[in-house]
Amino acid sequence: MMTDDFKRKLQDYKDGKLADEERAELERELEKMELYQSYLDEMMGSEEGKGTKPEALTAREEKIHKREAKLLRKGKWKFRFGTLLTLFSLFIWFTFLSGIGSAIYFSAGEPDVNDVLKDVVESAIAVGYPNVSVYMSSNSGMYFNLKLNGKMTKRVGDERVEVGDLSGNFLFSWLRTYDFAWSDQETNNKFFYFPSDQSIDSSREWKRLDKLPEGTVAEAYVSYKQLYPTGDFLKLFEGKQIEPLWFAVDHGEAMAKGKKGFDPIITSPIGFPAYPNWHPGDGKVTKGERRKTTSYPAIEQYGSAKIRDENFIKSLRILAEHKMAASRLIPFVDMKESLEYVEKNGVKIYGAVVTGPTKEILKLKEDPAVSAIRVGKVALWNWTGEE
């Protein structure tokens, strides 16, 4: 039978009036009582199995027993609720502190981590996706996550055309998830031909250009019969009413294929845009009265080969440094091996994405340097480069 003092403590426990030490001591006593009760129930059960009949409780004792059991249940649930409330409070604090930590982490450094990770994604698209560019916006969230989003576009004639959306989620500096949502599925299905002695039939593509009407502009993937240094390749376009947009660079894929039997089709080209993809720190920052302005080196239309080459190699170094992110965004290309190959052999170009009036692109059929062509997107006239 419980003492009056113990019953008083149970009532105070139920009402939350006990001090912390008394409450902890009572909870230990209650746990002991539960163990005793479990042991007694087990013993009574075994006695019943032997045919021993347990002594019946009086009505008053049964009433007291039920009341005590009710108090115990209430005490347990109150304790569980308190524990849950404590855990929830800790979760709220952790979320709040992680938000502050995320802001500090992604804004640390010069350039900061936020700009570096944006540059990695933008560089991957510029290098691995011919004539496609993206400008990422970022938002640091809780738990050291950085969300990136951007519209992917390509140029056809003098206008930029949206071809899809790109989103990614970094955990610290690890690209945890990413998603290419292409609105134009053909964008990622173009390829080039590496210089070879094999004959390449592009008659179907030339015929398509011939059938397209005047007053249209087009995008075309043009392959050439030999490798060119950047400066020499740019001179091929002087005097033509077409504009090169992206250059395909030899990065050793054809050589790797040659070990298994030569195949001139390059399905995973890498290269660089005609206008460099500048990186954080490339420009000169000028502080004005109200804001900072950044200026970049001037690029000559058919020159500045050294600046273009250095910018491309720097892009490869950035992607090689962030190899895991690069391998997810540009699958089937080993950036470290590509960088080593280009640094050893130099920047050598074998193809380009060009744009301009459809009939001007058709004239490339008579260019002895051209080996093959693939027609990309076509649009109504928007060309302003006509002389």
Partners of 374 in the β-ladder = 221
Is the model's pLDDT at 27 over the cut of 80?
no
- Residue carrying structure tokens 């280009």: 342
pLDDT at 259: 45
* pLDDT over 70 percentage in the chain: 83
Phi, psi of 375 (to 5 degrees): -85, 135
Q: Residue 233 in 3-state DSSP?
A: helix
Q: What is the mean pLDDT of residues 184-212?
A: 88
36: pLDDT confidence band, cut at 50, 70 and 90? low
Quote the pLDDT of residue 387. 47
pLDDT tens digit sequence for 120-171: 999 999 999 999 999 999 988 887 889 999 999 999 999 999 999 999 999 9
Which of 369, 373, 371 lies closest to 361, judged by CA? 373
Of 115-129, 173-187, 254-268, 372-386, where does mean pLDDT reach its minimum?
254-268
CB neighbours (10 Å) of residue 278? 16
Amino acid at 286: T
Residue 297, pLDDT above cutoff 80: yes
How high does pLDDT run on average in the chain? 85
What pLDDT shows up at residue 104? 86
User: Which of 45-54, 202-211, 267-276 is predicted least confidently?
Assistant: 45-54
pLDDT beyond 60 at 39: no
Reported confidence tier of residue 22, pLDDT bands at 50, 70, 90: confident
Q: How confident is the model at residue 385 (pLDDT cuts 50, 70, 90)?
A: confident
Tell me which long-range contacts 262-266 makes (C-beta under 8 A, separation of at least 24): 262/196, 264/193, 264/194, 264/195, 264/196, 264/198, 264/200, 265/191, 265/192, 265/193, 265/194, 266/191, 266/192, 266/193, 266/194, 266/351
Name the burial class of residue 271, with classes exposed (0-12), middle (13-18) and buried (19+) by CB atoms within 10 angstroms of its CB: buried
Longest dimension (CA), the chain: 114
Distance CA(283)–CA(185), nearest Å, equals 35
pLDDT at 122: 97
DSSP assignment string, 182-219: ES-GGGGG--EE---SS----HHHHHHHHHSPTTEEEE
Q: Could you give the CA distance from residue 328 to residue 166 in angstroms, rounded to a whole number?
A: 13
Cβ(366)–Cβ(360) below 8 Å: no
The strand pairing partners of 168, in sequence order, are 148, 178
The answer to whether residue 235 scores a pLDDT higher than 50 is: yes
Contact between residue 135 and residue 118 where contact means Cβ atoms under 8 Å apart: no
At residue 353, the pLDDT reads 97
Residue 284: DSSP 8-state? E
Residues 6+ apart with CB under 8 A from 189: none
pLDDT given for residue 8 in this prediction: 75
Q: Count the Cβ atoms, other than its own, within 10 Å of residue 241.
A: 15
pLDDT (0 to 100) of residue 37:
61
Q: Residue 126 to residues 6, 65, 291, 319, 350: CA-CA distances in angstroms?
A: 77, 78, 28, 11, 17
Give the residue-averaged pLDDT of 256-271.
73
Please report where in the chains the tokens 């962030």 appear, as a residue. Answer: 322
Structure confidence at residue 87 as a pLDDT band (50, 70, 90): confident
Angle at 302 between CA 296 and CA 306, to 5 degrees: 55
DSSP letters along 142-164, please?
GGGEEEEEEEEEEEETTEEEEEE
Distance CA 247, CA 369 (A): 15
**Confidence at 213, pLDDT banded by 50, 70, 90:** very high
